[in-house]
C-alpha cells in the first residue's frame, strides 16, 4: 500500500485551480464516434456496455503478409455511402472517419456554422500517423509503375493535418485550425489545446478529438518488429489484455472521436444541452526514451491536470487508463498513478477500454474522453476485459471483466505516446 512513496520527487506546480484565474469555463455539448465497435456513438456505447471486443482477423489487406494478423478494424464502413464514389477515392480513410464523426458531433450539439460565427469556431484534431495507407500505397505505385503514376492527390491525402482541412471545408469553419501530432497522446493533447483556446477567448467553440487509420501491412509490420503488438492471433477477442500478467502487446485499432467544446457562455446563450465540463489538462514530456515509458512524466501530467481542476485526488471517481496491454506501459502507468494520486489510487475505479477497442493510436484519447463523458452521464464504469491473471506490479482496481454501476462525478483520462508525450484530462459533471 505504500508504493506511492517511491523515490520520485515531483516538482511543485504553480497553477491556479478551480478557474480562479478568471479564464472561461469550457463545456462539452456534442460527441461523435466511429470505432471498432460501431459506426456511431450509440452503437459503440452499447457494445462497450456489453463488454464486447472489437478485435478480429484483419480484412483490410491479405493478412498473410504480416506475422500479426489481428486488429480492431472499423467494420461495415462504406465511404461511398457517405461521400459518393468519386470523393471517397480522394479521401484517406483517416479523413473519412473524422468527417463522419464530426457530422455526428455537430448534429448532436445542434451547432450550425454560418457567416456570423464561422471565424468563432475552431478545429483542433490529433492524428499520430495521418494518411499512412495512402503514403504506402502510392509509394508502391511509384516502385512498380513509375513516378508519373503517383496520384496528384497523394500529398493532400497523406498529410496528418488533412482531416482538419477537410472538416473545415465540409462545414465552413474558418477559426483556428491545426493538427496535433504527439503519437498516442495526440487526441488528448488536441482536446487539451482546444480547451486552452477557449479559456483564452480565442474561439467560442472548437471541434476537437482525433482520427487514425493505421491498419495496413507496413504499419502492422513496423509495430510488430519493435515488439509492440499482441501476437495472440489465435485468440483475437482475448488479445488485448491490459494489466493482465500474460499481456504481450497492444492490438492496433482505427477510428475517430470528435467532441464539440464551447465556452459556457456561448453554450448557454444558444441554449445548448451541456453534457459535461472540462476541468483540467496536464501535459509533459519524459525526455527519457523514444519508446520506453517513464514514471515521473506521466505522474506530473496527472498532478498538473488535478491542480488546474482544483480538486483533490480522492474526488476522482473513475480513471480511464492509457493501459495499452504492453508489459512496460501498464506496470509503469500503475506506478505513476500511485505516485500522482497517493493512497487515493487504491480507491479509484480504473479501467483500460483498449481491452475492447484496441489502441486507436492518435485517436485513442478522443474515444476515451467520450467514454469518460458517457460514464459521468450514465453512472457506469466500463471494465477492463480479458483480465484473468493478476500481475504483482499492477495491483490497483482495474474493474475486471464486468461493468460497475456507480455515480461518476469526476473522471480522468490518461494518454502517453512514443517520444515521451504525456497528456491527462479531467472531465467533470456539469452542475451549472
DSSP 315-334: G--EEE----S-HHHHHHHH
Comparing CA positions, the residue from 277, 243, 229, 307 lying closest to residue 69 is 229
Q: State the burial class of residue 432 (Cβ atoms within 10 Å of its Cβ: 0-12, 13-18, 19+).
A: exposed
Phi, psi of 238 (to 5 degrees): -105, 10
Q: State the burial class of residue 405 (Cβ atoms within 10 Å of its Cβ: 0-12, 13-18, 19+).
A: exposed
Query: Which one of 55, 184, 372, 394 is the catalytic residue?
Result: 184
Phi, psi of 263 (to 5 degrees): -65, 150
Phi, psi of 136 (to 5 degrees): -70, -35
User: In the numeric block, which cell numbers belong to residue 16?
Assistant: 491556479
User: In the numeric block, which cell numbers belong to residue 121?
Assistant: 469556431
Q: Is 359 a catalytic residue?
A: yes
Query: Which one of 4, 266, 359, 421 is the catalytic residue?
Result: 359
Q: Is 322 a catalytic residue?
A: yes
The cell 473545415 sits on which residue?
168
- Dist CA 32 CA 35 (whole Å): 10
- Dist CA 404 CA 347 (whole Å): 14
Residue 105: its H or E element: helix 93-109
- Dist CA 47 CA 314 (whole Å): 30
Residue 193, SS3 per DSSP: helix
Query: Which one of 72, 94, 179, 322 is the catalytic residue?
Result: 322
Q: Is 252 a catalytic residue?
A: no
Facing residues of 206 across strands?
122, 261
For residues 249 and 232, the answer to whether their CB atoms sit within 8 Å is no
Maximum alpha-carbon separation in the chain: 64
Decide the pairing of beta strands 404-405 and 380-381.
antiparallel
- Dist CA 56 CA 58 (whole Å): 6
Count the helix, strand and coil residues of the chain and give each as a percent rounded to the nearest 5: 40, 20, 40
Q: How far is CA 336 from CA 84, 313, 333, 393, in A?
A: 47, 13, 5, 12
Decide the pairing of beta strands 255-263 and 26-34.
antiparallel
> Could you list the active site residues?
184, 322, 359
Amino acid at each position: 500500500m505504500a508504493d506511492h512513496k517511491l523515490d520520485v520527487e515531483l516538482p511543485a506546480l504553480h497553477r491556479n485551480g478551480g478557474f480562479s484565474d478568471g479564464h472561461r469555463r469550457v463545456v462539452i455539448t456534442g460527441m461523435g464516434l466511429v470505432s471498432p465497435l460501431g459506426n456511431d456513438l450509440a452503437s459503440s456505447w452499447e457494445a462497450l456496455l456489453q463488454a464486447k471486443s472489437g478485435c478480429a482477423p484483419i480484412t483490410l489487406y491479405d493478412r498473410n503478409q504480416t506475422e500479426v494478423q489481428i486488429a480492431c478494424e472499423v467494420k461495415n464502413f462504406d465511404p461511398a455511402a457517405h461521400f459518393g464514389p468519386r470523393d471517397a477515392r480522394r479521401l484517406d480513410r483517416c479523413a473519412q472517419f473524422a468527417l463522419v464523426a464530426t457530422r455526428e458531433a455537430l448534429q448532436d450539439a445542434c451547432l450550425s456554422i454560418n457567416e456570423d460565427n464561422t471565424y468563432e469556431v475552431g478545429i483542433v484534431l490529433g492524428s499520430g500517423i495521418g494518411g499512412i495507407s495512402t503514403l504506402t500505397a502510392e509509394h508502391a505505385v511509384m516502385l512498380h509503375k513509375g513516378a508519373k503514376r503517383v496520384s496528384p492527390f497523394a500529398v493532400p491525402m497523406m498529410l496528418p493535418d488533412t482531416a482538419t482541412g477537410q472538416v473545415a471545408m465540409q462545414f465552413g469553419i474558418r477559426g483556428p485550425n491545426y493538427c496535433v501530432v504527439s503519437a498516442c497522446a495526440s487526441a488528448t493533447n488536441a482536446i487539451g489545446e482546444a480547451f486552452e483556446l477557449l479559456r483564452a477567448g480565442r474561439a467560442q467553440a472548437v471541434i476537437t478529438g482525433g482520427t487514425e487509420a493505421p491498419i495496413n501491412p507496413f504499419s502492422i509490420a513496423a509495430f510488430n518488429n519493435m515488439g509492440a503488438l499482441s501476437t495472440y492471433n489465435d485468440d483475437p477477442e482475448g488479445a488485448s489484455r491490459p494489466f493482465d500478467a500474460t499481456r504481450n502487446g497492444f492490438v492496433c485499432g482505427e477510428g475517430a472521436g470528435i467532441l464539440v467544446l464551447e465556452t459556457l457562455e456561448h453554450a448557454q446563450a444558444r441554449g445548448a444541452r451541456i453534457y459535461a465540463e472540462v476541468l483540467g489538462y496536464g501535459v509533459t514530456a519524459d525526455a527519457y526514451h523514444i519508446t520506453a515509458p517513464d514514471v515521473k512524466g506521466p505522474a506530473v501530467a496527472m498532478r498538473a491536470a488535478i491542480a488546474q481542476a482544483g480538486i483533490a485526488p480522492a474526488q476522482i471517481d473513475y480513471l480511464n487508463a492509457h493501459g495499452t496491454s504492453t508489459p512496460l506501459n501498464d506496470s509503469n502507468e500503475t506506478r505513476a498513478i500511485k505516485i500522482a494520486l497517493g493512497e487515493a489510487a487504491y480507491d479509484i475505479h480504473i479501467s483500460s477500454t483498449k481491452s475492447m477497442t484496441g489502441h486507436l493510436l492518435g485517436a485513442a484519447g478522443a474515444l476515451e474522453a467520450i467514454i469518460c463523458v458517457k460514464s459521468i452521464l450514465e453512472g457506469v464504469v466500463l471494465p477492463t476485459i480479458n483480465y484473468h491473471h493478476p500481475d504483482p506490479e499492477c495491483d490497483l482496481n482495474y474493474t475486471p471483466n464486468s461493468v460497475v454501476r456507480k455515480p461518476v462525478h469526476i473522471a480522468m483520462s490518461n494518454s502517453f505516446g512514443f517520444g515521451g508525450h504525456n497528456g491527462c484530462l479531467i472531465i467533470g459533471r456539469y452542475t451549472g
